[in-house]
Amino acid sequence: MHKHLLPLLAAALLAGCAQKASAPAATTTPPPASSEPATQPIGHNWPREAEEFLANYSKEYQRLYTASAEAEWRSNTRIVPGDTTNSAATARANEAAAAFNGSTENINRLRELLEHKSELTPLQVKQLQTALYNAASSPQTAAEVVKRRIKAETQQTEKLYGYEYKYQGKAVTTNDLDRVLREEKNPQKRLAAWEASKAVGPTLKEGLLNLRGLRNQVVQALGYPDYFSYQASDYGMTREEMMTLVRRINQELRPLYRELHTYARYELAKKYGQKQVPDYLPAHWLPNRWGQDWSSMVDVKGLNLDPILAKKGAEWQVKQAERFYQSLGYPALPPVFWEKSSLYPLPAGATYKKNNHASAWHMDLQNDVRSLMSVEPNAEWYETTHHELGHIYYYLTYTNPDVPVLLRGGANRAYHEAMGSLMGLAAMQKPFLAGLGLVDANAKTNQTQQLLKEALNYVVFIPFASGVMSEWENAFYADNLSQDQLNARWWELAKQYQGVVPPTARGENYLDPATKTHINDDPAQYYDYALSYVILFQLHDHISKQILKQDPRATNYYGNKEVGKFLQSIMYPGASADWRQLLRDKTGEDLSARAMVDYFQPLMAYLKEQNKGRKYTM
Ligand code: X8Z
Ligand code: ZN
């Protein structure tokens, strides 16, 4: 995620769908007031009033946002069990921001100005709508509930990231557990690591149930039916429209997923020396805690990055990602990024913990950009580093005089996730790696194996993101999923969408969905990532074919300024652009999995051949 600290910021347009035209990002000056004040009738100059209001509002918004970001940063990078200083400071800063964003006075004024929408510039309207959207996460009319939500959120973060994981009797990090799941061949050890990774779940149950009620109640005060609907409205969509969209995406990739699922069952049974091939994949067989990325199952001869990266070291990866962006024409990262980011795991023996999940922060909606990661030298972090820098360069690019503070967000949240993931994909392709001298350009490598590896990442992710996560959160927030069904529903969905089952019965004494960080601290938004993959393949298709004239499966973006210009033109307007129009303008297409399905098409024949005679169970 990129951090929108009060659960917001993002590119909000309440009635975005009605707003077809892309907002021109330049006209911040309102038409002048009448030049003859003496004869001017008493009345309103709405554009000028809006401009004045927005100028003052934005200034205060930015000040409070920055204070909140600083406090959150501290709370996420220095977690000391039992210490209440940080959480108290964070709660205070968030409450101050919430009080301003949700103040009745501001809301009334926003509504009043929006009643005169037709007289305002599109850019003014977007800013007002964004401010109103933000208000819904902390309306003054529900001040007590807002306060409780803020406190509960801070506590949940502390519980989740302050948790001490134990494996084989020793304290371990999530990086350690992930390594076991990627590399270990002994099923008993895998099972132990998988179970260790789920042990945090029950500690989060009470907090999560509490948060469901509070999140729903807060947005209901401004008329949203539930928190899931609120988050979907950020795209100008209803909850039902969003669910229809993610279900459609899942359907489009289902035939390919079915082949991958069959393939994986047989291959993993072989790998773990099991005679019986199970109908559904036991969760602890998969090289990821949630089965959302299986790419480390396959090593492509001549393209295995892990040993190369291990030699280069963690720091090199971040520097290399920066070099890639710079090669396209992006600036060097500002000094503050290097000075204030928290990029690497804490040293052994540290007396505090930090958030173990990667994120990127726009601290002041200006030039203070930072990333929070625990980078280790391996392919997974190499990709994540490119992902996070995508957020950072998005921040830096829409921080410009044409984009007002309130619209410094992605065209939508999925765009924000897409840019860096796109760069991560590009940074793994053979011509790119060969160009950097990381692999031997002349060595024969198997294209199909490479495509398979990519599918095990990007395709496998879809049923998890658009299926399990989105369906579960939709049920949790909007359908009030019963609290004695939380884990049962999770595993029902995992079976239905991913074809994955738990290694042993997982009753309601567990809470496996809560082990996924987003369920706690990035709620009801996980479809962002599914949509981001779909968008990234659309962008990649365009870049490969129209700009580079290269096969999308074998590209080298490095050093190409045209590619840079293209990406910058998407980032530049931030949330002042209409996301649907932008996609049409940039790719000639509406949002669709067409490009993603095309990309992997050659793999279908191969997998069908491999799976001949095998039993399909999905
Ligand atoms: O959470 C993230 C980013 C956050 S900025 C690292 N991702 C999803 C996840 O890890 O679950 C990236 C892709 C999927
Ligand atoms: Zn992200």
pLDDT digits (tens, 9 = 90+) for 266-275: 999 999 999 9
Give the pair of three-digit tokens for residue 56: 């003052």
Scan for tokens 């000639």, then name that residue. Answer: 588
The answer to whether residue 8 scores a pLDDT higher than 50 is no
Q: What is the mean pLDDT of the chain?
A: 94
Tell me, yes or no, if 518 is annotated catalytic.
Answer: yes
Q: In angstroms, rounded to a whole number, what is the distance separating the alpha carbons of residues 153 and 87?
A: 10
Residues making up the chain, counted from first to last: 618
For residue 208, the model assigns a pLDDT of: 98
Q: For residues 448 and 417, give the distance between their C-alpha atoms in angstroms, rounded to a whole number.
A: 27
Ligand 1 binding pocket includes 384 (Cβ within 6 Å): yes
Does residue 289 have its Cβ closer than 6 Å to ligand 1? no
Measured distance CA(268)–CA(408) in Å, rounded: 45
Residue 17 has pLDDT above 70, yes or no: no
Contact 360, 340 (CB under 8 A): no
What pLDDT band is residue 470 in, cutting at 50, 70 and 90?
Answer: very high
- Ramachandran angles phi, psi of 538, nearest 5°: -65, -45
Q: Is 388 a catalytic residue?
A: yes
- Asked whether residue 391 is marked as a ligand-binding residue, the answer is yes
pLDDT of residue 41: 63
For the segment 98-116, what is each residue's pLDDT rounded down to a tens digit?
999 999 999 999 999 999 9
Q: Determine contact, residues 403/435, Cβ cutoff 8 Å.
A: no
417 is in an annotated binding site: yes
Instruction: Decide whether any atom of ligand 1 lies within 6 Å of the 426 Cβ.
Output: no
C-alpha span between 331 and 396 (Å, rounded): 9
CA 246 to chain CA centroid, nearest Å: 15
Query: DSSP string spanning 87-134?
Result: HHHHHHHHHHHHHHHT-HHHHHHHHHHHTTGGGS-HHHHHHHHHHHHH
Apex CA 328: angle with CA 326 and CA 330, to 5°? Answer: 45
Q: Is 157 in the pocket of ligand 1 (CB under 6 A)?
A: no
**From atom 2 of ligand 1, which residue's Cα is the shortest distance away?**
1
User: Is the Cβ atom of 174 under 6 angstroms away from ligand 1?
Assistant: no
Residue 417 pLDDT > 70: yes
Beta-bridged to residue 418, according to DSSP, are: none
Provide mean pLDDT across the span 433-460: 96
Alpha-carbon distance of 316 to 380, in angstroms, equals: 14
CA pair distance 320, 327, nearest whole angstrom: 10
- pLDDT category at 83 given cuts 50, 70, 90 is confident
Q: Which two tokens stand for residue 71?
A: 């406090």
The predicted structure's pLDDT at residue 61: 98
What is the model's pLDDT at position 37? 52
pLDDT tens for residues 520-547?
999 999 999 999 999 999 999 999 999 9
Query: Out of 17-21, 44-48, 315-319, 479-483, which region has the weakest mean confidence (pLDDT)?
Result: 17-21
pLDDT digits (tens, 9 = 90+) for 187-228: 999 999 999 999 999 999 999 999 999 999 999 999 999 999
Query: How far lies 375's CA from each of 344, 394, 405, 411, 496, in Å?
Result: 5, 21, 31, 28, 33
Measured between alpha carbons, how far is 355 from 86 in angstroms, rounded to an integer?
14
Q: Of 357, 386, 416, 518, which one is the catalytic site residue? A: 518
- Identify whether the C-beta of residue 522 lies closer than 8 Å to the C-beta of residue 576: no
Q: How much is the pTM?
A: 0.94
Provide the pLDDT confidence category of residue 39 given band limits of 50, 70 and 90: low
CA distance 474 to 363: 30
Tell me how far the alpha carbon of residue 271 lies from the centroid of ligand 2, in angstroms: 32
Cα-based distances in Å from 1 to 9, 249, 357, 387, 388: 12, 21, 9, 10, 9
Per DSSP, the three-state class of 369 is strand
Determine which one of 70, 388, 454, 473 is catalytic. Answer: 388
- Does residue 16 register a pLDDT over 80? no
- Residue 2 reports pLDDT greater than 80: no
The radius of gyration computed from the CA coordinates of the chain, to the nearest angstrom, equals: 24
| Span 508-518, average pLDDT | 98
Ligand 1 centroid distance, CA of 454 (Å): 16
| 617, pLDDT greater than 60 | yes
Distance CA 387, CA 360 (A): 9
Q: What residues flank ion ligand 2 with Cβ within 5 A?
A: 417
For residue 439, what are its two tokens?
A: 């692999």
Amino acid at 545: K
Whole-number Å distance between alpha carbons of 162 and 171? 12
Give me the pLDDT at residue 15, please: 24
Cα-to-centroid distance, 357 and ligand 1 (Å) = 8
As a whole number, mean pLDDT of residues 548-570 equals 98
With bands split at pLDDT 50, 70 and 90, how would you rate the model's confidence at 82?
A: confident
- Domain residue limits, the chain: 25-35+42-234, 244-329+382-610
Which H, E and C letters describe 375-436, residue by residue? CCCCHHHHHHHHHHHHHHHHHHHHCCCCCCHHHCCCCCHHHHHHHHHHHHHHCCCHHHHHHC
Find the 608 Cα to ligand 2 centroid distance in Å: 34
4 assigned to a ligand binding site: no
Residues 6+ apart with CB under 8 A from 15: 129, 236
Atom of ligand 1 nearest to the CA of 290: 11
- What is the sign of the dihedral through the CA atoms of 353, 356, 361 and 367? positive
Q: Shortest CA distance to 283 belongs to which of 356, 186, 181?
A: 181
pLDDT of residue 27: 39
- Residue 116 labelled as part of a binding site: no
Q: Kindly report the protein residue whose alpha carbon is nearest to atom 1 of ligand 1.
A: 1
Residue 391 CA, closest ligand 1 atom number: 5
Question: Using an 8 Å Cβ cutoff, are 170 and 196 in contact?
Answer: no
What tokens does 210 get? 């509490």
Minimum mean pLDDT range among 36-40, 57-61, 353-357: 36-40
Question: Per-residue pLDDT averaged across 578-591, rounded?
Answer: 98
Kind plus residue range of the DSSP H or E element containing 240: helix 239-271
- CA angle at residue 397 from 409 to 364, to 5 degrees? 60
22 and 585 Cβ atoms separated by less than 8 Å: yes
Closest CA to 503 of 282, 287, 292: 282
> Is the pLDDT score of 26 beyond 60?
no
d(CA 495, CA 183): 24
What is the C-alpha separation between 231 and 236, in angstroms, rounded? 10
Does residue 21 have a pLDDT over 80?
A: no
Listed residue (42, 141, 12, 154) closest to 93, CA to CA: 154
Looking at residue 387, its pLDDT comes to 98
| Contact yes or no for 5/94 (Cβ under 8 A) | yes
| pLDDT score of 10 | 33
Residue 5 pLDDT greater than 70, yes or no: no
Class in CATH terms, 244-329+382-610: mainly alpha
